[in-house]
Amino acid sequence: MTLTLQVPDANGALVRYTLRNRTPVSLPAQKVAFNRIVYSAAHVVANPRAAIDPWLQCAVDWDQTIAYRRHLWSLGLGVAEAMDTAQRGMGLDWPTSLELIGRSLDAAQDVPGAVLAAGCGTDHLELDNVKTIDQVIAGYEEQMQAIEKLGGRLIVMASRALARVARSPADYERVYDRILSQARQPVILHWLGDMFDPALKGYWGSADHATAMDTAIGIINAHPSKVDGIKISLLSKEKEIAMRRRLPSTGGIDGQGVRMYTGDDFNYAELIAGDGFGGASVHAKSDALLGIFDAIAPAASAALAELAQGRPESFQAILGPTVPLSRHIFAAPTRYYKTGIVFMAWLNGHQSHFTMVGGQQSTRSLVHLSEVFRLADAAGVLQQPDLAVHRMRLLCALHGIEN
């Protein structure tokens, strides 16, 4: 099969493109234990044959969705379930999220060493009806109890409802003090920047990130034994490093300190590698909870294996070329990055269609997706090049471009 096709360039003009990387990133012959804790936030696969109104209702292909979790576990990656990568709050409602969490926890029982944590939020609340902090607390508690009843560990997601009704940092302190004091196991907190969700602007009580960070650090310092770590998604390595160095050196899930889980899909390679500040402490580097790892899972696994074996140059050689791809997938409007994630899963044969919950496949243009295709080729993350080209031709044909 010829691997040349016509695709639009950045200006929409048709150009001929030939795949330049026929050999995808390969995995080590034997599994290697990573020296970072790594979660991939996982996407959901829609059911395109469901008789629903896709903008209003949610239908999931459970078989393909759970199969993708098994794929991530097989590569040594943990699964961060029912997060924003799974279109939480952008098509995936709370009842379906809870079913997803339950099905994934069941599947994890069959996979030795499978790691899973699940998003706990307040997205079942009708925002217009939320008037008080007590309602936000009750919303968190409802989801917390439902997830813990299933045996799940919690990722405490940022709350649109809290951002809406909070009037000061003290309101955030009150909510998180209440939630953390009740958690059965140490949780992962999540600071999701407004570039991912405009409704979260001013989270932690201030639009100034330095002031907001003070509040978040204060909450963590008050409950170090109840916080495994914090994932921050601000797309700023400077802010992440500054916060990482301030996290408590006691507490956390293993007593060695509260961890920083990078959510920086622009700078993850260097943040995971670390800067050596603090020596061998958990604050010398970032662990990871990343949406982009869904799209580049084999490369992430291979790179982490190299890092664990003391080969940082090989780690960078594998993971570094994926960064331009990630930066493009997460380009503004960043909240639509899920489209690129699902597109990659389709190109790589992990699902049979390019259809998303809520019809979200329409949020990115053919020009954008064509660049995803080219950058994925350059990064060596098209696992089946022939299939990827075939499917790219199908997508082009749907947009009036015959190959």
Given a cut of 70, whether residue 349 has pLDDT beyond it is: yes
The backbone region for 323, taken as left when phi is positive above 0, alpha when psi lies in -120 to 50, beta otherwise, is alpha
Question: What's the Cα-to-Cα distance from 179 to each of 84, 174, 175, 220, 221, rounded to whole Å?
Answer: 20, 9, 6, 12, 15
CA–centroid distance for 140 within its chain? 21
Per-residue pLDDT of 121-157, as tens digits, reads 999 999 999 999 999 999 999 999 999 999 999 999 9
Domains of the chain: 26-322 (3.20.20.70)
Using 50, 70 and 90 to split pLDDT, how confident is the model at 367?
Answer: very high
Question: What's the Cα-to-Cα distance from 56 to each of 84, 340, 354, 360, 375, rounded to whole Å?
Answer: 18, 22, 18, 12, 33
Per-residue pLDDT of 265-281, as tens digits, reads 999 999 999 998 877 78
Residue-level pLDDT at 76 = 96
Using 50, 70 and 90 to split pLDDT, how confident is the model at 1?
Answer: low
Angle between the 366-379 and 385-398 helix axes, to the nearest 10 degrees?
170
Q: What is the mean pLDDT of the chain?
A: 96
d(CA 35, CA 254): 14
Given a cut of 70, whether residue 185 has pLDDT beyond it is: yes
Q: What is the DSSP string of 296-310?
A: THHHHHHHHHHHHTT
CB burial of residue 13 (10 Å; 0-12, 13-18, 19+): exposed
Please work out, in degrees rounded to the nearest 5, the angle formed at the alpha carbon of residue 217 by the alpha carbons of 142 and 138.
15
Residue-level pLDDT at 9 = 96
Per-residue pLDDT of 188-221, as tens digits, reads 999 999 999 999 999 999 999 999 999 999 999 9
Look at the alpha carbons of 372, 374, 375, 380 in this order and tell me if their dihedral is positive or negative: positive
Which of 169, 155, 85 lies closest to 117, judged by CA?
155
Asked if residues 190 and 230 have their Cβ atoms less than 8 Å apart, the reply is yes
Given a cut of 80, whether residue 22 has pLDDT beyond it is: no
Give per-residue burial for 241-256: e unless 16+ CB within 10 Å, then b.
Answer: bebbebbbeebbbeee
Q: What is the DSSP string of 12-38?
A: S-EEEEE----SPPPPPSS----SS-E
Task: Tell me the percentage of the chain whose pLDDT exceeds 70.
Answer: 100
Q: Report the largest interatomic distance among the alpha carbons of the chain, rounded to a whole angstrom.
A: 62
Asked if residues 345 and 295 have their Cβ atoms less than 8 Å apart, the reply is yes
Which of 136, 96, 339 lies closest to 119, judged by CA?
96
Angle between the 169-182 and 209-222 helix axes, to the nearest 10 degrees?
30
**Torsion of Cα atoms, 230 then 119 then 318 then 388, to 10°:** -160
What is the DSSP code (8-state) at residue 258? Answer: P
Which of 248, 200, 198, 190 lies closest to 223, judged by CA?
248
